[in-house]
Amino acid sequence: MDRAFERIPSGCAISGIMNVSGKRISGEKIITSISLMHDRSNGLGGGFAAYGIYPEFADHYAFHLMYQSERGRTLTEEFLNKHFIIERGEPIPTRPHPEITDPPLLWRYFLKAPEERLYKNHEPMDERDYVVEKVMFINDNIPDSYVASSGKNMGAFKGVGYPEDIGRFFRLEEYEGYLWTAHGRFPTNTPGWWGGAHPFTLLDWSVVHNGEISSYGINKRYLEMFGYKCTLMTDTEVVAYAVDLLHRRHGLPLEIVAKVLAAPFWKDIEKMEEEDKRLYTTLRQVYGPSLLNGPFSIIVANNKVMMGLNDRIKLRPMVWGRRGDFYYMASEESAIYEIEPSLDEVHVAKGGEPVIVRLKEGEQNG
């Protein structure tokens, strides 16, 4: 992991599948979909987020860790032992793959936050804030250790390689989830490192991103003011933290979060009804620094939602479609037809207009 590369621009392919009834499917389909867009990646990064894969540990935070050294593992496990109750810790199952070389040590832990520790400055502390703080600490302070994901009943599987090879390496066809997202990466100036692959996650948020965030510099500085540490050397990281800040901490609905990340133009705000005009003017005034400027299409997911979003002048492709309870999003239409030849509907996502797909009520965790 060469920290001299502080920021790595990249092209990419993304794909997402969600069953809104919570029906779980194996990782086979998402691998097939993303592998169709092979040429959009260059073998320097691929990854997946999977939701609903750990039903037996649904109430535990599933931490996926990447270690560059045994020392990193020792130090991190010491840290986790001190701050969490570890229900189980084990290597993430992988199979040897000719295209995947030099992987880090890959471990997962199922954790609970001890109630007696949920205090900060003698004040009760939100459990999720506690978890975020620990994730930030590991990424920022413990050498050779990176948290790949930290949500409940979900996990991120990512690394250096083409996404289909990464998928096989992690044996994703053996998992079952109701929501899958995938990413194939085309970084342009890096030897590639495992922590820099997508998805980027925090708690159960995951983000896969096609594009480059030209406003990264200020997005990063803004998020740092709220305690986020941008350590993963990739612009996409800020999306995950921005969504966490705006949705979880500031309580903004996802529709509004999308309108902060890809804000309406002032000229369009001018034309709105008085009440909306006030709302959107205030949002831009207050959240200007978290506007994501530059070309992007992203799929943001958590345990209940999959959201596709394009930058406001649509500089990157994204298509979404539906067949029954299955919703699909991808950089290319063909990547959807590859796994679902007969769609009920298919649309091009509009610039700045989020496509939000929600799990039906009461069907969480499939």
Partner 1 sequence: MANLIPPRFKVVIDYEKCRKCKRCVINCGFGVYSFSDRVIPDHKKCVSCQRCVAYCPEEAITIIENPNVFRPNSYWTMEERINIMKQASSSGMLLTGMGNDRPYKNYFDHLLIDACQVTNPSIDPLREPMELTTYLGSKPDAVKVKVEDGQIKLDTKIAPQIKLDTPIIFSPMSYGSISLNAHKALARAAKECGILMNTGEGGLHKDLYPYKDRIIVQVASGRFGVNQEYLDHSAVVEIKIGQGAKPGIGGHLPGEKVNREVSETRMIPEGTDALSPAPHHDIYSIEDLAQLIYALKEATNYEKPVSVKIAAVHNVAAIASGIARAGADIIYIDGFRGGTGAAPTIIRDHIGIPIELAIAAVDDRLRAEGIRNSVSIVAAGGFRHSGDVAKAIALGADAVAIGTAALIAMGCHVCQMCHTGNCSWGIATQRPELTQRLDPDWAAGQLINLIKSWSLELKEILGALGLNAIESLRGSRERLRGIGLTDTELAILGVKHAGR
Residues within the interface to partner 1 (CB under 8 A): 7, 9-11, 188, 211-212, 214-218, 220-222, 224-226, 249-253, 255-256, 263, 265-267, 275, 278-279, 282-289, 291, 293-295, 312-313, 315
Residue 71 neighbours by CB distance under 10 Å: 13
Integer angstrom CA distances of residue 61 from 89, 150, 254, 256? 12, 6, 22, 27
Token pair listed for 90: 């084990």
> What does DSSP say about strands 105-112 and 85-91: parallel, antiparallel, or unpaired?
antiparallel
Q: How far is the CB of 168 from partner 1 (least distance, A)?
A: 29
Q: How far is the CB of 250 from partner 1 (least distance, A)?
A: 4
Nearest Cα neighbor of 141 from 133, 149, 130 is 133
Residue placing its CB nearer to partner 1 in the complex, 153 or 310: 310
- Of the candidates 7, 10, 11, 12, the residue annotated as catalytic is 12
Q: How far is the CB of 114 from partner 1 (least distance, A)?
A: 28
Residue placing its CB nearer to partner 1 in the complex, 39 or 275: 275
Got the DSSP string for 7-67? ---EEEEEEEEEETT---EETHHHHHHHHHTGGG--SS-EEEEEES--GGGTTSEEEEEEE
Residue placing its CB nearer to partner 1 in the complex, 24 or 316: 316
- Taking every pair of Cα atoms in the chain, the longest distance, rounded to a whole number of angstroms, is 60
Query: Do residues 261 and 310 lie in contact, with contact meaning Cβ atoms separated by under 8 Å?
Result: no
Q: How far is the CB of 271 from partner 1 (least distance, A)?
A: 13
Known catalytic membership, residue 12:
yes
Sequence-ordered alpha helix ranges (H) in 245-324: 254-261, 266-270, 274-287
E strands, the chain, where?
A: 10-19, 25-26, 46-51, 61-67, 85-91, 105-112, 119-120, 123-124, 145-149, 154-159, 176-177, 179-187, 200-202, 205-211, 296-301, 305-310, 319-323, 326-330, 345-348, 355-358
Rounded CA-CA distance 102/75 in Å is 21
Residue placing its CB nearer to partner 1 in the complex, 313 or 348: 313
| Exposed/middle/buried for residue 307 (C-beta within 10 Å: 0-12, 13-18, 19+) | buried
Q: How far is the CB of 69 from partner 1 (least distance, A)?
A: 27
Q: How far is the CB of 29 from partner 1 (least distance, A)?
A: 30
Q: How far is the CB of 37 from partner 1 (least distance, A)?
A: 18
Residue placing its CB nearer to partner 1 in the complex, 73 or 259: 259
Residue placing its CB nearer to partner 1 in the complex, 31 or 291: 291
Query: What does the angle CA 353 – CA 181 – CA 107 come to, to the nearest 5 degrees?
Result: 140
Q: Which helix (H) or strand (E) holds 134?
A: helix 127-141
Q: How far is the CB of 344 from partner 1 (least distance, A)?
A: 25
Token pair listed for 294: 């530059």
Rounded CA-CA distance 236/23 in Å is 29
Residue placing its CB nearer to partner 1 in the complex, 277 or 323: 277
Residue placing its CB nearer to partner 1 in the complex, 43 or 289: 289
Q: 61 forms bridges with which residues in the sheet?
A: 111, 152
- The rounded Cα 195 to chain-centroid distance in angstroms is 12
Please list the active-site residues: 12
